[in-house]
Amino acid sequence: MTYLISAVFYSDCRRTIIKHFAAFLLLFVQLNAWAEDSLVLPIGLDTSDYIIPGDNPITDAKVELGRLLFFDTRLSLDGTVSCAFCHSPQFAFTDGLMVSRGIGQQTGNRSAPTLVNRAFSAAQFWDGRADSLEAQVTGPMTNPIEMGMPSLEYVTGIVSGIPGYRDRFQKVFNREVNIEDIARAIASFERTILSGNAPYDRFQAGDADAIDESAKRGLKLFEDKARCNQCHSGSNFTDEKFHNIGVDWDGGTVDLGRYLVTGQAADIGAFKTPTLREIALTGPYMHDGSQATLEETIDFYDKGGNRNPFLDVEMARPTRSLDMMLTMFEDKTNTGAKSLPAEELAKLNLTSQDKLDLLNFLKTLGGEGWQRIEPPVSFPQ
């Protein structure tokens, strides 16, 4: 096989980092010395780290096994829910719902994030509680609302009880079915869900006509007045960090987000910055799906988010110390107070034309790569 190589490889026991040097329409990269296997990386992903764990090299056979498992509803307790139930190719690997549903049509409390370009991130889930795709994969399987399996051992038993899967695991891993290899296979498949070569990427590569004048103005706003790139940075348009922008602090129960993972006061109400790749297709938006459209989302940022004492420094003009805010939070929790003094908001003051231009720019982030993925016609028996 012939490969167009424009990459430098840095390897350690945890990851392989792929960086492009030039703009090719499609880049074929040989990974981990697997002569028969290749991964197609669309143009535009040249500033991000493509993570492949040292103990889980990508092969075509492993990716295909992962694809079968990803779409297989037999991995859920009632046989109705697969990974694709919440991450469907029809919705750019989201589900199009405000909050996701699982077995028995139960509803969760967070919106399903897209799986597009998740290979470029270590922390997974909105709160970052999983440190790899392999760790993320097994979480929904035993979640009582999502796939509902009683244990990971039960999942292993279901898969190993299917002769067609047993044969595939022997060929791919040279051993019997186990939950670690189930996770490795699905994670390998998820690493092939990519988006790049968007109009924005072609514009950045020198094609001045790839985006229109409104989108060009929107790009300038994105980088300047609207301050979007303070969090949505890099080629995948995310800083891979966690921020409180005031989502769901406008009444009702507050989701504490990253704080539930770290216990750190600075993480109260903070959630992971999502990629903006394919943003026009992945609504509704925010971790709770509270913004139905991109227009609503832009308005949310324009007003500075919802008022709360823990707004991220990028969203607020700090008026109090973290210790003071934490004390207020504890007082509210202990006394049942109905409200907290709110941090002063930093508004963007966008005009109607600004908002339209920003919207048109965001639409230029729809690319290609993930569209080639289709559900299996049949499954192992």
Q: Do 161 and 264 fall into the same domain?
A: no
Nearest by Cα to 77 from 16, 142, 7, 165: 142
SS3 71: helix
152-160 helix and 163-173 helix, angle to the nearest 10 degrees: 100
Report the chain's mean pLDDT, rounded to a whole number.
85
Q: Determine how β-strand 316-317 pairs with β-strand 368-369.
A: unpaired
State the burial class of residue 317 (Cβ atoms within 10 Å of its Cβ: 0-12, 13-18, 19+): exposed
CATH code for position 317? 1.10.760.10
Q: Do 333 and 372 fall into the same domain?
A: no
Q: Do 87 and 163 fall into the same domain?
A: yes
Residues of the chain where predicted confidence (pLDDT) is lower than 70: 1-40, 46-48, 252, 314-345
Nearest by Cα to 58 from 183, 169, 181, 185: 185
Clarify whether 344 is annotated catalytic: no
Tokens read off for 208: 């001045």
Q: Determine how β-strand 26-29 pairs with β-strand 7-11.
A: unpaired
Full residue range of the structural domain in which residue 274 is found: 201-363
Q: Do 329 and 255 fall into the same domain?
A: yes
Q: Do 55 and 152 fall into the same domain?
A: yes
Q: Do 101 and 241 fall into the same domain?
A: no
Q: Determine how β-strand 271-272 pairs with β-strand 195-196.
A: unpaired
Q: Do 373 and 320 fall into the same domain?
A: no
Of 146, 190, 343, 368, the catalytic one is: 146
The pLDDT, as a whole number, for residue 1 is 28
Contact 89, 370 (CB under 8 A): yes
How far apart CA 209 and CA 205 sit, in angstroms, is 11
Q: Do 139 and 239 fall into the same domain?
A: no
Contact 133, 119 (CB under 8 A): yes
Q: Do 26 and 163 fall into the same domain?
A: yes
How far apart CA 257 and CA 62 sit, in angstroms, is 33
Q: Where are the beta strands (DSSP E) in the chain?
A: 7-11, 16-20, 26-29, 39-42, 195-196, 242-243, 271-272, 316-317, 344-345, 368-369
The pLDDT, as a whole number, for residue 198 is 98
Q: Do 213 and 118 fall into the same domain?
A: no
Q: Under 8 Å CB-to-CB from 157, ≥6 apart: which residues?
A: none
Q: How many structural domains is the chain composed of?
A: 2
Rg (CA), the chain: 22
Q: Do 156 and 217 fall into the same domain?
A: no
Q: Do 187 and 214 fall into the same domain?
A: no
